[in-house]
């Protein structure tokens, strides 16, 4: 039996969680996007479509997902502000209990984060937070 792609609901609910998180609202306002224009106001978050693989277990069928959240920040001479932003992203999503429109979120966990200098020059940063998840339905 093939897996079942339930990632669209995970993406939508993860983005909603990020938008509703008070700590993130203080850091990026409502700038949590799936698509970003060239004139986006910084700082902001971009949530990529998940990487999806099949998931099957006794009584379950669904998908594994790798969810990636990018954090973009300007005007910081050190790593502290982008690390704070990534920590807030991890706190908002790690082990989150998200009600999905279809299926059940079996787990969602923060796997790793990294920080890269953004090529726009000193003080511009690009943070990446990666999460693993399993979304499935009972069979």
- CATH number of residue 57's parent domain: 3.30.2000.30
Quick: pLDDT tens for 67-96: 999 999 998 888 999 999 999 999 999 999
- HSE-CB for 96 with a 13 A CA cutoff: 25
Instruction: Say if 104 falls within a structural domain.
Output: yes
Instruction: Say if 31 falls within a structural domain.
Output: no
Residue 111 tokens read as 């796997």
Return the SS3 of 21: coil
pLDDT at position 118 is 80
Instruction: Say if 18 falls within a structural domain.
Output: no
Quick: pLDDT tens for 20-70: 999 999 999 999 999 999 899 999 999 999 999 999 999 999 999 999 999
| Structural domains of the chain, count | 1
- Write out the E strands in 34-74: 44-47, 51-57, 60-73
Range of the domain at 85: 41-138
Predicted structure pTM score: 0.94
pLDDT at position 38 is 87
Cβ 30 vs Cβ 16: under 8 Å? no
Instruction: Say if 59 falls within a structural domain.
Output: yes
Instruction: Say if 34 falls within a structural domain.
Output: no
Instruction: Say if 72 falls within a structural domain.
Output: yes
């Amino acid at each position: 039996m093939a897996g079942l792609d339930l990632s669209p609901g995970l993406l939508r609910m993860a983005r909603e969680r990020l938008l509703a998180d008070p700590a993130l609202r203080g850091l990026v306002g409502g700038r949590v996007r799936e698509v970003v224009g060239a004139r986006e106001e910084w700082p902001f978050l971009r949530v990529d479509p998940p990487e999806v693989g099949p998931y099957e277990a006794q009584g379950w069928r669904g998908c594994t997902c790798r969810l990636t959240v990018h954090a973009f920040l300007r005007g910081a001479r050190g790593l502290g502000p982008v690390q704070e932003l990534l920590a807030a992203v991890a706190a908002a999503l790690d082990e989150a209990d998200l009600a999905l429109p279809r299926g059940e979120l079996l787990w969602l966990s923060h796997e790793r984060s990294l920080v890269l200098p953004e090529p726009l020059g000193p003080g511009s940063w690009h943070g990446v937070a990666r999460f693993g998840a399993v979304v499935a339905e009972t069979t």
